[in-house]
Amino acid sequence: MPTEQRLVPSGADETADAAARGERQAAERRSGWAALRPLVLRLHFYAGVLVAPFLLVAAVTGLLYAASFQAEKVLYAHELSVPAGGRALPLAQQVAKARAAHPEGAVAAVRPAPEPGDTTRVLLSGAPGVPEDHQLAVFVDPHTGEVRGALQTYGSTGALPLRTWLDSLHRDLHLGENGRLYSELAASWLWVVAGGGLALWIGRKRTRRTVRALALPDRTATGRRRTRSWHGAVGVWAAGGLFFLSATGLTWSGYAGAHIDALRRSLGQATPSVSTALTVHAADPGNTGHHSHHGGAGGMPGMPGTGGQQGGASSGSATDVGVDRVLAAARAEGLSSPVEIDLPTAKGTAYVVKQVGRSWPEKQDSVAVDPATGRVTDVSRFADYPVLAKLTRYGIDLHTGTLFGLANQIVLAALALALVFLILWGYRMWWQRRPTRGRALSFGRPVPRGAWRRVPLPVLLPLVCGVAAVGWAMPLLGVSLVGFLLVDVVLGVLGHRRRAAAPAD
* Residues 420 and 63: beta-carbon distance below 8 Å: yes
Claim to verify: residue 242 and residue 93 sit in the same structural domain: no
Q: From 395, 58, 462, select the one nearest 260 (Cα to Cα).
A: 395
**Residues 410 and 486 grouped into a single domain:** yes
DSSP 349: B
111/54 same-domain check: no
pLDDT higher for 262 or 288?
262
Report the DSSP beta bridge partners of residue 5.
none
* pLDDT given at position 437: 55
Please identify, among 135, 165, 195, the residue that sits at the C-terminal boundary of a domain: 165
**Average pLDDT in the 431-459 region?**
65
Which one of 129, 150, 165 terminates a domain? Answer: 165
Contact predicate 383/369, CB 8 Å: no
8-state DSSP, 455: S
Backbone angles phi, psi at 53, to 5 degrees: -60, -40
Q: How many domains does the chain have?
A: 2
**379 occurs within a structural domain:** no
Dihedral-angle region of residue 105 (phi above 0 means left; psi in -120 to 50 means alpha; beta otherwise): left
Does residue 328 belong to any structural domain of this protein? no
57 and 177 co-located in one domain: yes
- 246 or 313: whose pLDDT is higher? 246
pTM above threshold 0.75: yes
Contact 446, 46 (CB under 8 A): yes
- 177 and 212 share one domain: yes
| Residue 238 identity (one-letter amino acid) | A
What is the SS3 assignment for 148? Answer: strand
Give pLDDT, residue 460: 80
Q: What is the DSSP string of 247-309?
A: HHHHHTSSHHHHHHHHHHHHTT-PPP----B--B-SS-TT--SB--TTS---------HHIII
- 237 with 158, same domain? no
Residue 458 lies in a domain: yes
347's CB contacts (< 8 A; 6+ apart) are 303, 304, 305
Virtual CA dihedral for 465, 466, 472, 476, nearest 10 degrees?
-120
Are residues 160 and 221 both part of a single domain? no
Q: Is residue 387 part of a domain?
A: no
Q: Is there a single domain that holds both residue 491 and residue 409?
A: yes
What is the percent of the chain where pLDDT is above 90? Answer: 61
Task: Name the strand (E) or helix (H) holding 368.
Answer: strand 366-369
Q: 477 in a domain, yes or no?
A: yes
Q: Does a structural domain hold residue 471?
A: yes
Write out pLDDT tens, residues 171-187.
999 999 999 999 999 99
Mark which of 131, 165, 199 sits at the end of a domain. Answer: 165
457 pLDDT tier (thresholds 50, 70, 90): confident
Residue-range definition of the domain harbouring residue 234: 31-64+172-262+405-435+448-497
58 and 176 belong to one structural domain = yes
Residue 191 lies in a domain: yes
The predicted-structure confidence for 133-179, as pLDDT tens digits, reads as follows: 999 999 999 999 999 999 999 988 899 999 999 999 999 999 999 99
Q: Please tell me whether residues 94 and 153 are part of one structural domain.
A: yes
Position 75 in a domain:
no
Residues 420 and 491 placed together within one structural domain of the fold: yes
Considering the domain architecture, whether residues 51 and 189 belong to the same structural domain is answered as yes
